[in-house]
Amino acid sequence: MKATMTIRIPTELHKQLKEQAKEQGLTLNGLVVQMLWKILEGRH
């Protein structure tokens, strides 16, 4: 199951995330999901 979430972030943060996603061959969504999983995994 998938859910949709909308967040508001600073323009500069969006720009840097897009650049990082491109460098890693990911979509912006894919990069953010990957980052969120890593944060959650670090809590255990």
The pTM of this model reads 0.86
For range 12-33, the mean pLDDT: 98
What is the DSSP code (8-state) at residue 15? H
Output the pLDDT for position 41: 94
Q: State pLDDT tens for residues 5-17.
A: 999 999 999 999 9
| CB burial of residue 21 (10 Å; 0-12, 13-18, 19+) | middle
Output the pLDDT for position 1: 86
Q: State pLDDT tens for residues 31-44.
A: 999 999 999 999 87
Based on C-alpha coordinates, what's the Rg of the chain? 12
Report how far apart, in Å, the C-alpha atoms of 4 and of each of 15, 17, 33, 39, 44 are. 21, 18, 12, 19, 25
